[in-house]
Amino acid sequence: MPLSVSLSIEGDTTVIELTGELDAKTAPEFHQTIEKAAGHGTGTVEIRMAGVGYMASAGLRSLVFAQQKVGSGVTIKVVGAIEPVSRTIRTAGLDRSIQLSDG
């Protein structure tokens, strides 16, 4: 399944909404969006993942890339990830530096 990515600004938050599968084939599109988000200079990047049914290790690498790209002063939130996706994030230890939220 392809990945659909949208980017919007809501106050001091850059919102990236993902729908589909986040894997090695679709991660480059997410990376391009992260690059754009980093340029907005907002205090929070919220990645809405309720529509992501599958995330491979490339998705984890994308989240690490997002952390590196936006810098240490920016909060990254993953919102609405289904249990298998949020479990993958927690297992990798990324929940120590990325906030996970049910929505």
Average pLDDT over residues 33-52: 93
44 pLDDT above the threshold of 90: yes
- The CATH number assigned to the domain holding 42 equals 3.30.750.24
User: Which pTM does this prediction carry?
Assistant: 0.93
Pick the closest to residue 49 from 17, 88, 9, 92 (CA basis).
17
Residue 78, judged by CB atoms within 10 A of its CB (0-12, 13-18, 19+), counts as buried
The beta strand positions in 23-103, using DSSP E, are: 44-55, 75-79, 99-101
Q: What digits encode the pLDDT tens for the residues 57-102?
A: 999 999 999 999 998 889 999 999 999 999 999 999 999 999 999 8
12: domain range? 4-101
pLDDT at residue 79 in the model: 98
Q: What digits encode the pLDDT tens for the residues 3-14?
A: 999 999 999 999
**How many domains does the structure of the chain reveal?**
1
